[in-house]
Amino acid sequence: MKLGIIGLPLSGRSTTFEALTRQGGETAARGEDRLAVVRVPDERVDRLSRMFEPQKTIYAQVEYFLAGPGSQKKEANPWLPVKDCDALILVVRNHGPIRHPVADFHTVNQELILSDLVQVEKRLERIEQDHRRGKKLNADEQALLIECRKRLESETPLRHCPELADAKPLRGFALLTAKPMLVVFNNEESDLQMPEIGELAAGETCLTLRAKIEQELARMSPEEAAEFLKEYRIGDSAMDRVIRLSYEVMGL
């Protein structure tokens, strides 16, 4: 499972990536992009391992991907680097003196919708051109794409339309809004509250994160981390919460 971390500038994407991957993860550089493989903590696996004492215990793994500025600038569409990800984690700024979390969410959402709409329009044009040249029309694909266009033009992400997001003929397009998405609000260090998000909550999986604190936590020893968690009233690590909700949004 590969999750792409996205967000506007200054949202805290890099800090969130560090918080998620420093604790038990091996970070590998890939040009200007960043990719980390993180072991999924699982108490059930731990318990079975203690019971049966196998020579090797194998845990599930999650890949976190963060596109670097270099790869984004190379693309006409800055969201293309995450097209091969299975799901997206959208980091939304909710810290600092000037913050507009709902507006920032909608900005990214609109850009993802536009990216998909352009791709759908191009494919529909190509289908029509091929049909005029005498090629056999794939009516099922065309009908699905027309429905995608209709939903996107009404500003509806395709992840809210399971019949389209899961449609086999559309999988090769890797449409961005069809991917499951977890929305992470990056809060101030002293702020535990979810921002007032109104209708945004409908159909979206959201959580708050204090990325700076989690980044510091990931660099500590287990003893220091336990004391830190207690002081800042953090119930579990960011990695555990994000992994749990990542599995939830993907239906795993």
pLDDT at residue 23, as a whole number: 46
* Higher pLDDT among residues 86 and 197, named by residue: 86
pLDDT at residue 221, as a whole number: 84
Summary mean pLDDT of the chain: 85
pLDDT digits (tens, 9 = 90+) for 115-138: 999 999 999 999 999 989 988 888
CB contact at 8 A, 188 and 210: yes
Cα 236 from Cα 223, distance rounded (Å): 14
Kindly report the pTM of this predicted structure.
0.86
CB contact at 8 A, 234 and 225: no
Q: What ranges do the domains of the chain cover?
A: 2-249
Contacts 24+ apart (CB under 8 A), 108-113: 108/6, 108/7, 108/8, 109/155, 109/157, 109/177, 110/155, 111/79, 112/79, 112/157, 112/176, 112/177, 113/152, 113/155, 113/157, 113/177
Q: What is the mean pLDDT of residues 238-249?
A: 79
Options 3.40.640.10, 3.40.50.300, 3.40.1160.10, 3.10.200.10; which CATH number does 2-249 get? 3.40.50.300
pLDDT digits (tens, 9 = 90+) for 24-46: 444 445 557 888 888 777 778 88
Mention every residue, 6+ apart, whose C-beta is less than 8 A from residue 192: 208, 210, 233
pLDDT digits (tens, 9 = 90+) for 73-85: 556 678 989 999 9
